[in-house]
Chains A and B, each alone.
Chain A
């Protein structure tokens, strides 16, 4: 293994566009392809969600990026440094939690951080107290980790990430084990980290959390990235849903089916759910109301449903399933 020195001979790049960039990244475990030719681009300075159901290959991709396991094919770079060639340079400014954060149970939280700081640059030791303070662990820093709850270990994991003054944080399911207050604090901390100019990439299957926290996402399923982009852009490309409660739902369905081409209408009691194609103008919704009233149907309730990331994710992944 060659010794790479972080000095002027290999200046740090600051002009890179993507915090993480992969091309055709592939990782196999026997016949199982955990990461299948992934092309991923994580923009700098944002919170990026890496979304997927359990077993989709989220953690495997993170492990490959961090050099915890090797890739079978493809190229990747982090913070402008080619990985694994300049892994040490890239990881010098990366903090990460992978899987459940585990530490030496017989040591205190502070002592565990001392071990990790020693493996980083000398200045990292001076950041221990600030890191503990930031994750709210100062009071318990001198307790043995064996006595910590899952949530406290999660916080300690984040503190460990901060030791290297990271430009990129990769957090694998960071909300695991946190109570509602802890999740709220974690959300705020991620936002504050992004506000400081850092990039946070977090993998999760908690779509609601990702929607609240992230600016952009990539959806992964069965090792493939099936969509990526900003949440606003992705949701803009989803179907428009209109919920209607009226006096005669069956008649309304007949009227609207003939009036709206390309719409799908589901009826349940007095309620109709109208699915319109992506990009439908909102005047169409006003026209629905006009048409029903014109035909003598009393409209009690009419609302455009804001498509959530969760419903969009389910529709995207289910469509993918259907196509197979």
Chain B
């Protein structure tokens, strides 16, 4: 069998209308790049373990523990579990794994000797570079999304049916009148345990066993000295005030929060991939860029995000991790800050506009650097 014989008249007929010099990659180039990355079993396994395996193992252990000893171990899902996993695990690990994929995509043609084969095809080097971006994202985004969807599903379907709110056992899923009605029947627990304090000044709190404790020797009214109707009205008012908080913090995470959180961790993963791709293309290798990306995410960004250095504050604002942290959806514990919900004041201050500009600059800048190096380096 022989390959199609060339005739002088048909020399370039096959190549006619082939935009080989264009910087735009063809669909076939992107598809084969996806195949090349997907076939890297080690990389894919590592991605799956970190993005899917860790949350799945964590949630499975919680499910089993709760099924075996429900009084000792709380439900596997719920708002708190969701927010902890998203801000504590998926955000950071998603970035690192995406960066590893980006560094692989950016360097592996060079290190494995395929780059020169590709250059010899006459295809634009920019097109060879740009083909890696959609190909890598086609792997990173679904992988991060899969892990996130599993977390969402467990947190919704394994959400608690009874909860302890500030130490008070409260039934889940109550409507506002329902909560107020429940509060009227449990006025002492509400007055002593709920975050909001009513006009009635009572010296009490909820003890470790969930029962109301009245500290002795205080010169303020006790539960016994306050009329029952006053206490009841106070409890209903507190329930009314705290309902929004109750609704947000109990049961499953709200759908808008899940959507925003999903987009937010995908943004972080996309940044990790694009920066990793550019850095590895610039350096022509994988290992050092991966290490640099991990250092950036785990050491540099938390340090520079939490402590204001007066003369370097604008440099700090240029850190992409800080910029992404400023776009964090409300209701999640602060990433890099280590605090709970509402502790956003730990971050170096930055406006949303500046944060967006910083993110775009990182994406465009590293893509340009990587593309420039691939277009000019010896193959």
Contacts and interface: CB of A to CB of B under 8 A. Distances in A.
Interface stretch (B15-23, B84-92, B148-156, B314-322): B15-23
A42 interface: no
Given A4-B20, A69-B379, A104 B112 contact: yes
Contact of A118 (B4, B14, B26, B40): B26
Contact of A1 (B5, B19, B124): B124
B3 A6 contact: no
Contacts of A104: 36, 108, 112, 114
B39 A5 contact: no
B11 A68 contact: no
Contact of B4 (A87, A88, A100, A165): A165
The SS class assigned to the A binding surface is: loop
B18 A6 contact: yes
Interface in B84-113: 108, 112-113
B8 A14 contact: yes
A105 B36 CA distance: 10
Given A123-B14, A198-B6, A115 B114 contact: yes
Interface residues of A, number: 66
B8 A107 contact: no
Interface string A43-81: 000000000000000000001001111000000000100
Interface in B1-51: 1-9, 11-12, 14-24, 26, 28-29, 31-33, 35-36, 39-41
B129 to A, nearest CB: 11
A260 interface: no
A102 interface: yes
A167 B120 contact: no
Interface in A84-136: 87-96, 98-107, 111-112, 114-125, 127, 130-131, 133-134
B369 to A, nearest CB: 16
B11 A91 contact: no
Given A92-B20, A111-B36, A160-B117, 19 more contacts: A3-B19, A5-B19, A6-B12, A6-B17, A7-B17, A68-B116, A87-B122, A94-B122, A104-B112, A104-B114, A105-B112, A106-B39, A115-B33, A120-B122, A122-B18, A131-B3, A133-B1, A167-B6, A167-B11
A69 B378 contact: yes
B122 A89 contact: yes
B128 interface: yes
B223 to A, nearest CB: 71
B120 A96 contact: yes
A188 B113 CA distance: 27
A107 B15 CA distance: 27
The 7 closest A-B pairs by CB, nearest first: A102-B113, A91-B122, A4-B21, A12-B12, A118-B28, A3-B22, A88-B21
Interface in A183-240: 192, 196-198
A198 B11 CA distance: 11
B23 A1 contact: yes
The SS class assigned to the B binding surface is: loop
Contacts of A90: 122
A199 B119 CA distance: 20
A121 B14 CA distance: 7
A69 B379 CA distance: 7
20 contacts: A3-B21, A6-B18, A8-B16, A11-B12, A14-B9, A66-B120, A68-B378, A89-B20, A89-B122, A100-B113, A104-B108, A104-B114, A107-B36, A107-B39, A115-B118, A118-B26, A118-B31, A134-B1, A167-B11, A196-B6
Interface of A: 1-8, 11-12, 14, 63, 66-69, 79, 87-96, 98-107, 111-112, 114-125, 127, 130-131, 133-134, 160, 162, 164-167, 192, 196-198
B204 interface: no
B126 interface: yes
A69 B33 CA distance: 24
A120 B1 CA distance: 22
Contact of B118 (A5, A114, A119, A123): A119
Contacts of B18: 6, 92, 120-122
B375 interface: yes
Contacts of A118: 26, 28-29, 31-32
A133 B1 CA distance: 7
Nearest to B115: A68
Which of A88, A100, A107 has the most CB atoms of chain B within a 10 A radius of its CB?
A88
A98 B116 contact: yes
Contacts of B116: 66, 68, 98-99
Interface string B50-81: 00000000000000000000000000000000
A91 B20 CA distance: 10
